[in-house]
Amino acid sequence: MKARALTAALVFTVFAGMFTSCAPKAKIATQNGNMEKSGKGAYATKQYRNLFKENGHSEAEINRKIQAGYQQLFQGDSASQAIYFKAGKNEKGPLAYIHDVYNKDVRSEGMSYGMMIAVQMDKKAEFDALWNYAITHMYIDQPGHPSEGYFAWSVKPDGTRNSEGPAPDGEEYFVTALYFASGRWGNGQGIYNYKEWADKILTTMRHHPETSGTTKFGPQTSGPMVNEQHKMILFVPTNQGRKFSDPSYHLPAFYELWALWGPEKDRAFWKAAADTSRAFFQKTTHPVTGLAPDYAHFDGKPVTIPFNPNSHHFAYDSWRTAMNWSVDWAWWQKDSREVERSNRIQAFFASEGLSSYGHIYTLDGKKVGAGPSAGLVSTNAVASLAATHPVAKEFVEALWNLPVPHTLGDRYYGGLLYLMSLLHCSGKFQIYAPR
């Protein structure tokens, strides 16, 4: 066992060194040895890489692959395939929700991811139905409630709340999906004035007042979703969750857009938050494996907390972290360390075996949970947007060959990451500036 671990460590260390040397040379700003003076990413060029096409797949094949995934997960059999479910109508129009079929609830994470997929695929009816459900059943608008202006992170399909506290990853994707909807379709009236609602949520995220009160689940204190001193997104803005962060919630690619489009008084903050997140990725990822923990302190060190035994490991939340920094590189190209990290993490998983690596690890690379997962296979492919080594193509091909997630445990989270990763890797996950 020790010999095998040592061999794997040697392999991926050599890989990482070789692949990092392949990284493109960047113009470096004097104030930060790894920050470029100007980005040449997709925001500036309007050109999005199509990794599947680079691997030799035709545009027709790629479109069929994406449509098949959408068809199964959004329109497939309700008992064995779908995660999108219609939920009737109200005075604002049709309603629908994304169902975590394993945990039997509806989460702000999944709702916002579903909306992002819908806007990227030009599915306005589905987008509006999801947004209507989120506002109707998840948005907390009771005056004086500790989480007023936020979305309950978990509800039952009928709208009964399992929690009266939010999770920032939901709000982050809600905001950006709404800005993109404004750009793609224009703004409507009421809740369908997408930009107005994006601005409103974004303002609340930073300026929510410190509020204490009683909820149906007990006393709660809530504040902003960001730490002002550290210019960093929190794990949650309630109770003890305000003392640390979640690396997979850091979305510098989105923060750069908010710094351009959001309420003017907060634009400088979000610009700074983007740079903070880039630096935070460097602090919180392991220097050899590139693995990040589920939760981390503001200095990047792992958090150990009772309610999540994997909080200090690379686990379910952490799968998204490489996707986040790789999309940031693809869109903005402002921090060449993102290239190095993608090379590093893919080198590690290549050393573990592309068809056999696990899904939970200690940060130094010891396997905790065996067997690959659709969600991790998907996000590891997105890391190829930043990676520069030849093995990057194999990670893309692994996603291409992955069946649409359908098992009870993989269908919701794995399915959403699968669809978003298909869109990223095909160059079809794009920026739409709000009107």
Mean pLDDT of 10-25: 39
Over residues 330-385, the pLDDT tens digits come to 999 999 999 999 999 999 999 999 999 999 999 999 999 998 899 999 999 999 99
Say yes or no to pLDDT of 35 above 90. no
Residue 31 burial by CB count (10 A; 0-12/13-18/19+): exposed, middle or buried? exposed
Say yes or no to pLDDT of 241 above 60. yes
pLDDT at 30: 26
Percent of the chain with pLDDT over 70: 91
Read off the tokens for 233: 């997104």
Over residues 286-342, the pLDDT tens digits come to 999 999 999 999 999 999 999 999 999 999 999 999 999 999 999 999 999 999 999
pLDDT at 21: 38
pLDDT at 13: 38
pLDDT at 372: 85
pLDDT at 20: 39
Assign 34 a pLDDT band (cuts: 50, 70, 90).
Answer: low
Measured CA to CA, the distance from residue 217 to residue 163 in angstroms comes to 7
| Residue 58, C-beta contacts closer than 8 angstroms, at least 6 positions apart | none
Alpha helices of 355-412 — where are they, by DSSP H?
374-382, 392-400
pLDDT at 19: 42
Contact, 335 vs 283, CB < 8 A?
Answer: no
Mean pLDDT of 10-22: 39
* Dihedral, 177, 180, 184, 188 alpha carbons, nearest 10: 70
Q: Is 158 helix (H, G, I), strand (E, B) or coil?
A: coil
Contact, 387 vs 19, CB < 8 A?
Answer: yes
Say yes or no to pLDDT of 191 above 70. yes
| Residue 260, C-beta contacts closer than 8 angstroms, at least 6 positions apart | 267
| Residue 401, C-beta contacts closer than 8 angstroms, at least 6 positions apart | none
Q: What one-letter code names the amino acid at 223?
A: G
pLDDT at 37: 45
Over residues 95-140, the pLDDT tens digits come to 999 999 999 999 999 999 999 999 999 999 999 999 999 999 999 9
pLDDT at 324: 99
Over residues 53-74, the pLDDT tens digits come to 999 999 999 999 999 999 999 9
pLDDT at 2: 29
Contact, 189 vs 271, CB < 8 A?
Answer: no
Q: Which of 202, 189, 188 is nearest to 251 (CA)?
A: 202
Contact, 111 vs 170, CB < 8 A?
Answer: yes
pLDDT at 240: 84
Contact, 204 vs 262, CB < 8 A?
Answer: no
Residue 360, strand partner residues: 369
Read off the tokens for 356: 């056999």
pLDDT at 140: 98
Q: What one-letter code names the amino acid at 225?
A: M
Tell whether the torsion through CA atoms of 424, 65, 57 and 322 is positive or negative.
Answer: positive
Residue of higher predicted confidence among 243 and 3: 243
Residue 136, strand partner residues: none
Contact, 227 vs 264, CB < 8 A?
Answer: no
| Residue 232, C-beta contacts closer than 8 angstroms, at least 6 positions apart | 226, 245, 250, 273, 276, 277, 280, 298
Over residues 249-280, the pLDDT tens digits come to 999 999 999 999 999 999 999 999 999 999 99
Read off the tokens for 231: 């210019």
**For residue 371, what is the enclosing H or E element?**
none
Measured CA to CA, the distance from residue 151 to residue 155 in angstroms comes to 10
pLDDT at 174: 99
pLDDT at 39: 64
Question: Residue 9 CB: number of other CB atoms within 10 A?
Answer: 16
Instruction: List the catalytic residues.
Output: 109, 317
Mean pLDDT of 84-91: 98
User: Mind listing the domains of the chain with CATH numbers?
Assistant: 1-58+244-435 (1.50.10.10), 83-228+236-242 (1.50.10.10)
Residue of higher predicted confidence among 240 and 215: 215
Read off the tokens for 407: 């098992």
Measured CA to CA, the distance from residue 72 to residue 383 in angstroms comes to 25
